[in-house]
Every structure is written in C-alpha cells, then in structure tokens.
Structure 1
Amino acid sequence: MGVQHVKADEPVADVVAVLEADGVVIVDGLLDDDLLARFNAELDPLLERARPDDGRFVNQAVAGFFGDKTRHVVGVAGKSPVFAAEVMTNPVLRGVCDEVLLPNCARYQLNLAHVMDRGPGSVRQWPHRDELVWNQLPTPHPEVQVASVIALVDFTADNGATVVVPGSHRWDDRDRQPTDDEWVAAEMPAGSAVVYLGSTIHAGGSNTTDGWRRGMHLSFCLGWLRTEENQYLATPLEVARTLPRDAQELLGYAAHDAIATGGGYLGTVEVQDPVELIARGEL
C-alpha cells in the first residue's frame, strides 16, 4: 500500500477519510510558494547557527533517536512569526484536528513544533508511534494526537523522506513490528505534508545524498494532555501577547473548559481564562 495524496484545496473531509482509513495521508500544497519561501527565510539563520552534534537532549535515548547529523530548531512558535501566525494555524490542519481530536476534548493544543534538517549520513530512526509519549494511557483509547511532517524542501526516498506504515494504526497487536515491504517513503514536493495519526508507525528516513533534508514536525494533541514541548517557556508570554488569538489558544494560553460537557476546567489564572486576560491587557 502506498500513501494516498489529497490536494490542500480539496474538502477537509477527503483528507480525514483517508487519514482514518490508512492512518496517514499526504496533503499536496499545504503551504503555497510564497508562504514556504517566507518561512524558509526565517529558518535559514536559525539553522545556520544550529550544530548537528550539539548533543543537548533531555537524555541519551533521545540523543540516539535523533542522531548527530541533524540540525534542530525547536520552539518554533516563539522564534518564527510566520510559523506562529500562518503555518501553525493552517486551516487544513485545523480542520483535520477538529474532526479527529475535538470529539475527545474541549480544545486541542500544539504539542510540538520542531524543524529537523537531516544531513548526509543520517540513518533511519527506529520505528515508533508518536502517541507513546503518553504510554500511561489505557489501551484501547481514542486518537489523542494528529501529527505532520511538512516538507520544506523536496522529500525523496534517498534524502530521508519520512517513512510510514499505512494501516498500522489499526493493528491490535501493539508489539508487532512492520516487515520491510510494509514501509512506504512519503515522497512529496516542498510545501506538501505527510499527516498521520499518533497511533501510526513511522520513522525519519535515511539520507544517502550529499544534501540536507529540511522538514518540520508539527503536531497537536488533546487539550488535557501534557505536551512534549513546554509551550509556555518556548513561547513566553511577552511573545504570545504579540500573536493572533487563535495562535495563543493553540499554544495553550486558553483554558480547557469542559464544563458544558460535564467535565471541569484546566489552566485558569485567577479562575479566569488566560486568553481573555491577555485580550484585556491584564496578563
């Protein structure tokens, strides 16, 4: 099975239908040429200062997962206005999250914004499901994450395109490992994105070329989960104040208010919604 493609200007329902059936879909033209160029221009100086062998990770397992041939820019919402205002809030991604995540939360949020520039000699990551960062969740559980890797240059099988296992989100045996013929490279032009569920097996591919493969992991999760990236520190309040309200909400500066559905509220300040306090200039 290959990865199906849906154009960004087609109905979001078409994207969701493929995603739910296969666990993965390629959205062609997610970022138009102008947006892609402006975003890459903001990233260029950040990546020029990044060292692939920096080695500063939370632990050695994470360091081994990424390897020493990848340049990283993390906390992108706090460093790139183009990302925060235009990429993170992309209407196609928002529409997918509305359909997949909102049935299980009052509000979803940005989980991780991470640019990975995989250099020559980068080896394939080990197979993983992104949702396992919350491995304490009981099984089975509803989908808790929508993830994507946006191609900021052309992705090919040779330069390290993300590799995925379509259908693996439906495997009952969570210990099962994919066979070689079940892996598919998400080849796509710059500006497109491979969108997948947190339950889908995937990995960063091997880069056997002499060029760099620039891509961005952008994922969202249920609003009542702890995020991989601490958005309040990665995008501090003084930066968040300058962003559009929908960006502030995605960064977690809005309360998760489930009162209307019989739940409670999370993330208030002075028992109020922080995003409202920001709007009134009180925070």
Structure 2
Amino acid sequence: MSAVVPGPVMTAAGCGGTGRELAPFAGPDGLAGLAFVTRSITLDPRAGTPGRRIAEVPGGLVNAVGLPNPGLEHFLATELPWLVRAGAEVIVSVAGATMGEYADLARRLALAPGVAGLEVNVGSPDDAGNGLFETREPFHAASVVAAVRREFPADRPVLAKLRPDVSRVVEGARACHEAGASAVVVGNAVPAAFADGRPGGLSGPAAAAVALRCVVAVARSLPAVPVVASGGVHDVRSARTYLAAGAVAVQVGTALLHDPTTVARLRADLAPSREDA
C-alpha cells in the first residue's frame, strides 16, 4: 500500500495506442516520464468487436471496441520494450475472463522489465458482453484486485479502474482498496447505446459530470484512498476541477482522439502547480 501513484497526468487505457502513435505529439521529451496506461492486455489475442466500434455524439463518443489487443506474449515481446526505451512509466492495464487469468497476468508482468504498475480493469460498461470476469458486485471486483495484488510487488502500484456507478462507487472503492489497490480510477465509460441499439460506453465531456460526482463521493467518504479521475478531461480547467474535488491525478482519454497534444499541454500546465503544492 506504500506504492506511489503516478501523476498528475496519465493516459487512459487504450487511448494512447501502442505509444508510437502518441509519441510525436507528447511534447519535447516524448513519452519520457509520462505515466502511460496501455490498452487492456489479455492472456490471448483479441480481435475486438466486429463492425462499427465508435460513434461521435454531442460532447463525446459511444464506443464498443471489445478490448482488441495482441495478447500478453506479443505485448511483452514488442510493445513493452518500445515503451520502456521511450522512457514511459508503463502502467499495464489487464483484463481477464477468470480470476486465474488476472493472477497469471500479474505474475508474468511482475517479472517483465520496465513495468511500473498495473491497472486492473474491473469497470467495463459491458464486462459479460466482452467475455470478461463479471465484476458488478464490489466483492467480485475486490476478489480480482486481491488476486492481482498477491502476484505483484508491493512497492509498485496496482490501480483498480471502477465503473462510474454513482450508487455503488464508494462501496466498490472501499472494497478494492481493502483488497490491496493502491488507488482507484474513477471512472470508466458510462453504459450507453449506439443509434441501432447495440450496447456501448459513453466517454468524453458528456460523461464528465457523472464521473465528477463519483470522484467527489469517493474523496469525501474515503479520504485515505487515492483517487485518479477519468472522464472528459480535455483542458487544464477540467483537470483542475477533478484535482480540486480530491483526485490525486487525472487520466486523458477521448480528448486524445480529437487533439493528441492534450497530454503534452496538461503536463506543462499542471507540473508547476504540483511542485508548488
């Protein structure tokens, strides 16, 4: 529990691509020193959702990407080494169909050079639909976090990424923190639907007010639990709103699809205020 939570700015899982796509826009130092959260990595490769995966809506995006990734072996062989050479502080997002898969991922990533921490994806808007271990109940999410924490060094952070469920986010944050999470990430995409009725998740500024309510609830109810805010961060004002509400860091996701320089600008704007704090 003594592991340091990186910040004040991170990428949100999957929104920085493999890192190669973001690096040219990440500022004069590239990815060096940036807390880069990878796309969610599973043991086996996943092709993702067939058909249309993203639709723009007023104020954000509805998406159902299905967690496409090359699988752990390919990630360890190609993507991780590149990120390490680029100087990123690599936080690997992990997802699994069973607690055993989460534990196996943590065990193997603990031995991989350059992994600074893990983010446990227990907040997918449609975990069952994506073939993931269902974590609707806080004790299920906590069980996954505990399985990961047992396999990962105590001096490196494990973040639990929760869904922005206003009615249960405090309960979920408490359970995951007690299970060993160094911090909680609030929140993931809000459950939504495409125009044709297919399920998806709403992200971007349109979901920010919901995420902010959840951040405030956790920060006030559980002041000892570090909170990382994720949801609609697109400029310094939106980032500082979350920090003022009690978050220790923010993640940038959807904004990178509109303006890939967002992380570079926020790092420059927020670093001085952190030093003065």
Length-normalised TM-score, structure 1: 0.25
Length-normalised TM-score, structure 2: 0.25
Q: Which has the higher contact order (CA 8 A, sep 6+)?
A: 1
Higher Cα Rg: structure 1 or 2?
1
